[in-house]
Chains A and B, each alone.
Chain A
Amino acid sequence: MADSSFKPDRASEEGAEQGADSQPGASVPESGPTRAQAEPAPAHEPEESPHEPDAHEPDEHGGHGGHGGHGEHPQSFFMKYLWSTDHKMIAMQYLFTGMAMALIGAFMVYVFRMQLAFPGMSVPGFGTVSPAEYNALVTNHGAIMIFWVAMPVLIAAFGNYLIPLMCGCDDMVFPRINRLSYQIFLLSSVVLICSFFVEGGGFGGAWTAYPPLSANPQYSLTPLGATLWVIAVALEFVAFLLGGINFITTAMNSRAPGMKMYDIPIVVWMIVVASILFMASVGPLVAGAVMLVFDQTVGTGFFDPKRGGDPILWQHLFWFFGHPEVYVVLLPAVGITGEIMTVFARKKLFAYPVVLYTVFATGILSFFVWAHHQFIAGIDPRMANIFTVTTVLISVPIAEMMFVYIATLWGGSIRLTTPMLWALSFVGEFLVGGVTGIFLGASGTDIYFHDTYFVLAHFHYTFVPIAIIGTFAAVTFWFPKMFGRMMDERLGKIHFWGTIIPFNMIFIPLFVLGAAGDHRRIWSYENFPELARPELQDLRVLATISMLVMLSFQLVFFYNFIKSLMSGPKAGRNPWQANTLEWTAPSPPPHGNFATLPTVYRGPYEYSVPGRDKDYWPQDAPS
């Protein structure tokens, strides 16, 4: 019960939840691994002085060295880092697992892009790439980057980290469900990695896993790999269902007193809507995954046309989930961008209610667009007309969202810090992904572009801004809060330009290749006389070399990350002079987050309010 006594003014029902949970594992005193290394036995300090509104100045450093530390109950490493129910620790677990999976996904893209640029070469670190290996690499690159990188990092890591802090509460509503969520996610990662090494090799039927190829080992030739892959994906969905419950309930029920619906920071809204979309759309796919595993292992025929099944059924189940899924990962990244742009433009978010309406409109519409992935898949051609209308229509709320962000810059005082550069590049690059999507949503042009590199370049222009740019924006922005230290700005900018320029150099050539007729998932283009032309091969080489440059610049990020973690300058509570509640907590926040739970007096984006000395006005500062 050390937990509850630590914060006597905690709302009673949350105290009960925490109290029920305060087995040794629950009362984790620390939030970041560095702090534990720097201060192995933090002294038990008295409670922090009650929170004062003026206490969050940028130069405000000292005084919270060992906050929340319970020296007399030292936590074992296992309890502290692996069995924690603290939302911040779970966020870190998701973040670092996601980053580790990103490295695996990046290694895969390195191998198969080398094969495409230099067919038949022995790729350093891998060897020659056989067609079966090539298929397994592209399949798992896609699956990993979406399910094991974008989802855990954007939704789970930042959702877990930000929702309680931004809503001004001490933890998630269901901390142990939260812990279970991560554990199932970790299990799913392990199952996925195991699937690469079983007999027959990893699954190679593309990340969409269309049956009958995926359902029948006789066709896929990966009897174990395919089954493990489907099980891993299904487990991953279970993990995010558990996480989603927490995000929605916490944001709806545990907000600080005074925080009305329009006072919720936009990123919290985005993660909540994303969680609702995920939970509403994933059911059919989990059912489909079970049917697929049955088809693979016990010989049912749900997707087997010879026994009355229908392979197209899977496509409907998959894309009914798959398209909302795009918005599930998009929305948190858009939210993160909004937070960062308002802070560094010193501007109120333009038309906050409009942003919310566009989010809801996008969310609802996203359930009615799935068949645009199936225009030429053998559905009734008349159905394509309906889905063209809904798909093209979704450009309206998304365009409006982008207009709002651009309008937010008007009249600002824009500081081009590293997080701001990432946030701005999200808008600039996502626009490319957005406008190229219209060519694919319009049935007429999709006949030609479907399953070409044009599609591939299009969705990388959405997913790279979402999963890569959005993540870097969030990490560089909240790093001071997460670890209590500032990142190096100069290295950050080198990393930024070293990522953004090669990123465009990879995917602009791929748009051209798609228009020239390159189909996806082709092991080698040497067999197609029209595609083996040297001018097209040059573009493939250009894309591969740009990819190598982009990957090598990630070393700068890791160096910066580790260096700043060890020896970056100490960050105060509020180094960016931001308004939202997480900046009123110490950096890093202790278990329980706030010494005194904050009360909210205004919206999150009151920057540059006329008549005030400071150009920011924290949400919890009384007027």
Chain B
Amino acid sequence: MIEHYVVAASSYAKDIDGLFDFMFWLVGFWFVLAEGVFFYLIFRFRAKQGVKGEYITGEKKSEMRWISWPHYLVLACDVAIVVMAVKVWMNVKQELPEADATVRVIGQQWAWSFAHPGPDGKIDTADDIETVDELRLEVNKTYHFRLSARDVLHSFSVPVFRLKQDAIPGREIVGWFKPIKTGTFDIQCAEMCGIGHGLMPARVVIEDAAQHAAWVAEQSQHKVASLSAKPGAE
């Protein structure tokens, strides 16, 4: 149902959507059943002239089962939900698959900065490509992100990936995603971070291999040009 509103652009987006759909139908069944019985009882037992209520304590075994059986069933549904939810959670958050590349994501008041690996394919080297409010990714590649914050809490939220992770100053949190669709999508901050919280929109651009390589090449040329320009000026 979520994919009706938001494109599923990561490898695990459909797992989260599937979990939602599973829970929606399971929980929806209980909800409709409970509300149905509830409204039926209100209608059936509305006050009628000369008809007194019944005296039911609800403490006899034969009466108790009306609530004890449903409650065992609820427990069984709960177990199913927990198993499914934990499975998805472990895949998205707990396990870290091998990465093809790593990006650095830094939240600050009020912008996102990103560091992409340059031509050498590694981050934290001199040829890193740094951008503000724009994350460039190559489709069908598994990425690790190294997330941190400069000042206050932020939350790196990419709805099309179904990914959200708080960024904490003084800590580096590592997670992963694998884009599976090309396109340009929103990145939001999901944790209150001050007056500019609603004003730090960023975009994620997912390209195919050729486009991405071209972008990397172009950016590193800029970088080389600006680096070589500087000492020359002095």
The size class of the interface chain B forms with chain A is 35 or more
Verify A210–B195 contact, CB threshold 8 A.
Answer: no
How many residues of chain A have a CB within 8 Å of chain B? 97
Contact assessment for B82 and A435 in the assembled complex, using a CB-CB cutoff below 8 Å: no
A77 sits at the interface (CB 8 A): no
Q: Are B20 and A445 touching (Cβ within 8 A)?
A: yes
Taking A213-B193, A519-B157 as contacts, is the C-beta distance between A388 and B89 under 8 angstroms?
A: yes
Contacts of B189 in A (CB 8 A): 519
**C-alpha spacing A395/B47, complex, angstroms:** 32
List of A residues within 8 angstroms of B163 by Cβ: 447
CA distance A408 to B63 in the complex (A): 11
Pairwise interchain contact B35-A431, C-beta atoms closer than 8 A: yes
Residues of B within 8 A of A82 (CB): none
Q: A377 CB to closest chain B CB, in angstroms? A: 5
Say whether B185 faces chain A, with CB atoms less than 8 Å apart.
yes
| In the complex, A55 has a CB within 8 A of chain B | no
Q: How far is the CA of A451 from the CA of B35 in the complex (A)?
A: 28
B229 proximal to A (CB < 8 A): no
The residue that B85 contacts in the complex, of A345, A442, A519, A610, with Cβ under 8 A, is A442
Contact of B198 among A409, A444, A521 (CB under 8 A): A521
Are A395 and B78 closer than 8 Å at their CB atoms? yes
Contact between B198 and A428 (Cβ–Cβ < 8 Å)?
no
* A431–B36 CA distance with the chains assembled, in angstroms: 12
B57→A523 contact, CB < 8 A: no
Q: Is B230 an interface residue (CB 8 A)?
A: no
Interface string of B1-28 (1 = CB under 8 A from A): 1100110000000011001100110011
Any B CB within 8 A of the CB of A592: no
Whether A443 lies near B2 (C-beta < 8 A) is no
Q: Are A444 and B186 in contact (CB under 8 A)?
A: no
Determine if A615 and B38 form an interchain contact, defined as CB atoms under 8 angstroms apart.
no
CA distance A213 to B169 in the complex (A): 11
Interface residues of A in 448-493 (CB under 8 A from B): 448, 450-452
Nearest to A354 among chain B residues (CB) is B67
B81 CB, nearest partner CB in chain A, Å: 6
Which B residues from 39 to 98 make CB contacts under 8 A with A?
Answer: 39, 41-42, 45-48, 51-59, 63-64, 66-67, 70-71, 74-75, 78, 81-82, 84-90, 92-94
Where the two chains meet, the residues of B that have a C-beta atom closer than 8 Å to any C-beta of A are 1-2, 5-6, 15-16, 19-20, 23-24, 27-28, 30-31, 34-35, 37-39, 41-42, 45-48, 51-59, 63-64, 66-67, 70-71, 74-75, 78, 81-82, 84-90, 92-94, 109, 151-153, 155, 157, 159, 162-166, 168-171, 173, 185-186, 188-199, 201
Residues of A within 8 A of B (CB): 130-132, 134-135, 204-206, 208, 210-213, 216, 219-221, 305-306, 311-312, 345-354, 376-378, 381-382, 384-385, 388-389, 392-393, 395-396, 399-400, 402-404, 406-416, 424, 427-428, 431-432, 435, 438-439, 442-445, 447-448, 450-452, 512, 515-517, 519-524, 527-531, 607-610, 615
